[in-house]
Every structure is written in C-alpha cells, then in structure tokens.
Amino acid sequence: MAAVASAGQAGPQAPAPANRPAPHGLRFPVWRWAILLAATAYFLIPLYSALKFAGLKAFPDIFRQSGFISAMGLSLRLALITTILTLLLMVPTVVYVHLRLPQIRRMMEAITILPIVIPPIVLIIGVLKVAPGFLLSTPYLLALLYVILAMPFAYRSLDAGLRAFDLKTMVEAASSLGAGAPATLWRVVLPNIRTAMLSATVLTVALVLGEFTMASLDLYQTFPVWIVNFEQNSGPVSVAASLFALFVTWILLMVIVTAGSWSSRRRGGGEVALFTVVRQDFGQTPGEPG
Amino acid sequence: MAESTIQAAAPGIAAPGARPGRRSRSLRRALQWAGVLPFGVYVALGLAAPTIAIAIAAFKNPDTGSFTLSNIRLATEGSYLPGLRNGILLAIASAIVPGIFGLLIAYAIHTAKRGRLLRQIVITASGVFANFGGVPLAFLFIAALGTTGVVTGWLSDLGWDPWNHGFTLYDPVGVFVVYMYFQIPLMVLVILPALEGLRPAWREAAENLGAGTRQYWRHVGGPVLFPAFLGCVLLLFGSAFSAYATAEALTGGTVAITSIQIGALENGNVLAGQQNVGYALGLFMVVIIGIVMIFYTILQRRAARWLR
C-alpha cells in the first residue's frame, strides 16, 4: 500500500532514497500477483478439465482402440525416417557451411526460416500439386516433407552447437595430426555437437508426432489425425489421447532442457534455450501450434 | 561458353601457367558450392517448387490451363472474402491481446525481486506451452469449454451457462480463446530478451535527472521497447494467421477462416470451375505473410539499434 502511494506521488521529484535499491521492483506487487495468478488459472484449468473430462479410466482404453496401433506405428516410423534424413542432410551441410562457406550463414538462416513462414496448409497443397505419383501413393512423402518442416529447428540447434566451440582450430588440429575428413567429422566434430544433435532429434520427433495439417490433407492416418477422427466414437478417449500426446511431447522437451543444462554445466557456460528458434526469428514451435 | 570451348580445343597454345590456375580456381569455387548442393536441391524441390506451383496455379484456368484472373476474383467474393476478413481479424486479435498479456507477464517476472526461481518456472512453462498446439490443444478446450465441458459446468452451476448467452467455442471468438493458449507464452519468450535489453543504467540515469516512472517509460523505456514489441506482435500475427490444425480440430473445419477454407477446397468441397481457387487463397496467405515478414525484419533491425 505504501509502495503504491509513493508511486502516486513520485512524479518529477526524485524518489526517496529508501526506494533506490528496488527502483521498479516492489511497486506493484498486487498487480504482479494478479497477472501471474490469472495466467496460471488460464493455463492450468483446461489441463485439469481435460483430466476430469477424460477420467482416468479412459487412458488404458486408448491403447485398445481400433486404429491406435497402426496410427501410432505410422507416426513413429515417420519420426524415425525424418530424424535420420534430417541429420544426414543437415549435419554435413551445417558443418560444411561453418568450415568452408561461413559467408552464407545469414543466407542459410533466412532459407531455413522459410518453412516456418510459409503456412503449412499452403505448402501441402503445393506439394500435392507437384509431387510425382509414386510419392503421392506412399505415406513416406510425409517424412520427406517433415525434413523441410524440421529444418528451422535442426539448423538452429546445430548452428548453435557448432558456434559453442572452436570448430576451425579443432579441425585443423585433427588434420595436422593426420586425420582425414571422415575421421575428423566422426571423431572430432560429432562428439562436440552431441547435445545439439540430441536437441535437433528431439525437436524433430516432437514435430513429427504432433503434425496434423499435412498428414490430414495427405489423407494418411497419423496419430494426431487418428485422435481427430476418433472423436466421433468417443470424446473422452480423444481427450485422453490428447493428454497422452501432450505428456509425450513434454517429456521429450524436458529431455532437451535437462541435457542442455547438463552439458552446459559440464562445459561451464552457455544456456540451452528450448526456444532457440523463436527467440530471434519469426516462428512457430515444433508442437505446431498451427 | 565460347571461352571454354576455345580452352578445350587448344589447351596447349594458351599460356600454360595461367589457364589451369584460373580454371582450377573456378573449379575449386564450384566445388566449394557443391558441399551445399544436396541441401539446395532439397529446398528447391520441397519448398520452392510447391510455392511456385501455387503462384502459377492461382492464375490458371483449371479446365483449359490458360492464364486467367478468375481464380483471384472468385477468391475475393462469396464466402471467401468474409473468410479472409475473419482470418485477418482473428490473427490481429490473437496478436494484440496475447501480445499485451505476454508483455505484462514478462514484465512481472523481469522486475520481480528475488525472482530467479519464478523466472525459471515461467520461462520453462512458456517453452512448454508455446510448443503445445494443434490437435491436443483443441481437445483440451473442448473438455473445458465445450457444451459438456468442465468449466461450462461450473459456470452453469453458478447460473450462467455461456452457451446460452451467445458463446460458442466453434466460431472465430472461440478459436481466439484457444489461440491465446500458445500465443501468450510465445510472446513471453520473444519479448523477454527485449525487456532484458533495457539497461538498468538508462533507468538510473533517468532517475538521476529527476524522471519518475511514468516519464521514464514515456521518454526512454517505451520508445526503445516499442519497435521490439511491435515486431513480436507481428510475429504473433503470422503465427495465428498461418495456423490450421488447432482451428480444424476444434471446429471440425466449420469456422470460416482462410486456412480452413483452403483445406476444405483441397479436400474436394469445390464447385466446378473453382478447382484453383484454393491456390489463389494460398497465394493471398503467402503474400500477406510476406508483407508481415518484411515489416517484422525492419522492426527487428530498428529494435536491435538500442537493445544489444
């Protein structure tokens, strides 16, 4: 109360010296707590509602529903293929750019942000228009597309990982000790970007498991598409499956946070943000708010 | 072209030292780019080709394949114009309201005294919630605010069932309520670095010169922060405008916004002669997002002048 009153009088006069240590710290404690409480309520009540709506009984039911196994199986296969392709494509590219073409790093950043900027609904109708028939008839076209969607996250994770140590010196040291390019990549570069690769992998897997737009328009029943289609049979099971999907994603994201803080403690410095992409760029997130 | 032919035809005649050197240098430069060739090809096929295909199809007669503006015209009339208007208004609301709330939350934790734990909790939670959208989010809100939802039950127990008072989860207003769930944490994450870029020294300097809180924000903090804030709001606009999954799963494809209409057209809900209207709508979306991106880049550059 006193704090509020003093703020009201402050005006152009210098504040009382006693206020100095916390110039803008404790003036609006009520305001602060009101905002944070309202936010907490808004974010937790739907979660609580979903738990209550589904009921605990619905959770074991998920796994027994028709179509669940095949939908989850397809999503997991897509996640595996997408991750492998993404790492195979992006790791050599990013390492190469760092070593040989550092001048195009800005351009790479701009290109890899595009999949976030172009709405997924627009991208998929374009792909369905131009893709050759042999790709349209297989669900694995989705894996090829998810590599594109994963690029922003993979590129930024790997780029940050490579910037965290002196790549050039290490590579030069390796080659002056007689290592060839493959040995250098395998035994020097990769061990140093393990955390970055883990984070790229986790973000990619989270993206694939949550992606709905492209899969539903490509008419393949991945896990999120199944959840929506299943709603007609049982609302509570769909809600339970949604919570299940959420927890899986959260656990995956926690893996990055934990691995990140573990590796930065080991290296002594650096902060691995969950949100490497959005911090600087235009973007959405791997859970695909879209 | 001609030069290389001559070189190939008479390699011995030319000055022996210079030619191979120049050639190997350009060869080396070409090889240097070869390292990013797989990536370039992948992007060209997976990203550029589909986007260009949409831009072309938007101007093509679906039956004859000849150039036409009728897709564009059709996409701006009938139910598509309200769809575009709803989509844009929804995105504006889903940018400004969560933008302000996100800023307040970020400010609350940024200025909290002894707030390290609070800060860590809010940032981690924001990372988690901002990553949370699409299908599961829609079902969370159906469970909370749907006709038989838990919160709806609480409110009707209190004697005020929102569904009896004009509320529905399945129109743009309902979609807006749901979008806030990932937009607010997104705002917290993107605006926090800007808030942290406000140097305490500026505040101290302002106070030493006799400025109060209001004056500081009006003449120092506000002007420095404003471009960053506006940039983040544009980011939120793009995120909401291009969203599809959440609205589709929530409303079953019934809400009239552009992204959902494109999906319905692609799924075959289309009149004869209008097969390419979806591409025109897609082109609109890309153009709008492109314009937003340009302003976003300008604002980011503007913000970077003072904030780090």
Using CA atoms, how far apart are residues B232 and B192, in angstroms rounded to an integer?
10
Task: Give me the number of domains chain A comprises.
Answer: 1
Tokens at A214, concatenated: 């492209």
Residue A231 lies in a domain: yes
A242 at B interface, C-beta within 8 A: yes
Nearest to A210 among B134, B149, B293 (CB): B134
Residue A44 lies in a domain: no
CB pairs under 8 A between A and B: 301
Rounded to the nearest angstrom, the gap between the alpha carbon of residue A8 and the centroid of all alpha carbons in its chain is 44
B-chain CB neighbours of A36 within 8 Å are 105, 108-109, 118, 122
CA distance A237 to chain B (A): 10
pLDDT tens-digit readout, A200-250: 898 899 889 989 999 999 999 999 999 998 877 778 888 999 999 888 888
Count H helices, E strands: chain B?
16, 0
A-chain CB neighbours of B195 within 8 Å are none
DSSP for A20-87, written as a single string:
TTSTTTSS-HHHHHHHHHHHHHHHHHHHHHHHHHH-TTHHHHHTTSTTHHHHHHHHHHHHHHHHHHHH
pLDDT tens-digit readout, A101-160: 999 988 998 899 888 888 999 999 999 999 999 999 999 999 999 999 999 989 988 998
Instruction: Give strand pairing partners of B67.
Output: B60
Tell me the residues of chain A between 47 and 66 that have a Cβ less than 8 Å away from chain B.
47-50, 52-54
Residue A21 lies in a domain: no
Listed residue (A52, A184, A180) closest to B144, CA to CA: A52
Task: Residue A149: give the domain boundaries.
Answer: 65-280
Are A210 and B51 inside 8 Å of each other by CB?
no
Tracing tokens 């049982």 back to the chain, one arrives at A234
pLDDT at B155: 93
B193 at A interface, C-beta within 8 A: yes
Residue A272 lies in a domain: yes
Residue A77 lies in a domain: yes
Interface test with A, best of B60, B97, B140, B170 (most A CBs within 10 A): B140
B-chain CB neighbours of A231 within 8 Å are 139
Residue A45 lies in a domain: no
Residue pair A140/A79 in contact (Cβ under 8 Å)? The answer is no
A67 at B interface, C-beta within 8 A: no
pLDDT tens-digit readout, B85-102: 999 999 999 999 999 999
pLDDT at B10: 39
pLDDT at B19: 52
CA distance B12 to chain A (A): 33
Are B129 and A257 inside 8 Å of each other by CB?
no
A215 at B interface, C-beta within 8 A: no
A289 at B interface, C-beta within 8 A: yes
The full set of domains in chain B, from first to last, is 1-32 (no CATH), 78-306 (1.10.3720.10)
Residue A57 lies in a domain: no
| ipTM confidence score | 0.84
Listed residue (B241, B257, B264, B247) closest to B137, CA to CA: B247
Please report which residue ranges of A103-166 form alpha helices under DSSP H: 105-117, 120-130, 133-136, 141-163
Band of the pLDDT at A264, cuts 50, 70, 90? low
Are B131 and A286 inside 8 Å of each other by CB?
yes
Tokens at A198, concatenated: 């883990």
DSSP B60: B
CATH of the domain at A135: 1.10.3720.10
Residue A201 lies in a domain: yes
Q: Dihedral sign for Cα A98, A100, A101, A103, please.
A: positive
Are B124 and A25 inside 8 Å of each other by CB?
no
Does residue A175 have a pLDDT over 50?
yes
Instruction: Give strand pairing partners of B60.
Output: B67
B-chain CB neighbours of A121 within 8 Å are 242, 244, 259, 262-263, 282, 285
pLDDT at B18: 46
